[in-house]
């Protein structure tokens, strides 16, 4: 199973919007299993220090969920950092599936 991730960021004066796309580059369908409604998470790092995390302070529905991605298809997850700190940061998106790993990162300047 070959999952690849990409992370796009749109920087505005009062927010940064993230889109994390997870693509199935393999030949077989991939089923993602989640233990709650948090399918992906986003973090902003300054060097190795975490400045912001999308899931921090949020509550998620505690229910098992699954999602399938057919070969050649992709799914996207979105997050938003409101009132971002100025500077150059590394944004990291992580798939929160129990049975698959996928991560992507990009540099942003606010």
Q: Do the Cβ atoms of 3 and 24 come closer than 8 Å? A: yes
Q: Model-level pTM?
A: 0.92
pLDDT tens string 47-56:
889 999 999 9
DSSP 5-52: EEEEEEE-SSEEEEEEEEEE-SSS-EEEEESSS--EEEEEEETTEEEE
The mean pLDDT of 87-107, rounded to a whole number, is: 96
As given in the structure block, the two tokens for residue 107 are 């540099």
pLDDT tens string 10-32:
999 899 999 999 999 999 999 99
**Percent of the chain residues topping a pLDDT of 90:** 85
- Residue 104: alpha-carbon gap to chain centroid: 7
Q: What is the pLDDT of residue 62?
A: 85
For residue 88, pLDDT beyond 90 = yes
């Amino acid at each position: 199973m070959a999952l690849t991730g990409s992370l796009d960021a749109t920087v505005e004066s009062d927010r940064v919007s993230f889109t994390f796309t997870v693509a199935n580059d393999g030949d077989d369908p991939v089923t993602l299993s989640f233990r709650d409604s948090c399918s992906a998470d986003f973090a902003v790092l300054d060097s190795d220090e975490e400045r912001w995390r999308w899931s921090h302070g949020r509550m998620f529905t505690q229910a098992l969920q699954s999602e399938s991605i057919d070969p050649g298809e992709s799914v996207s997850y979105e997050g938003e950092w409101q009132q971002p700190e100025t500077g150059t940061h590394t944004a990291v998106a992580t798939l929160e599936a129990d049975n698959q790993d996928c991560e992507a990162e990009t540099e942003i300047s606010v």
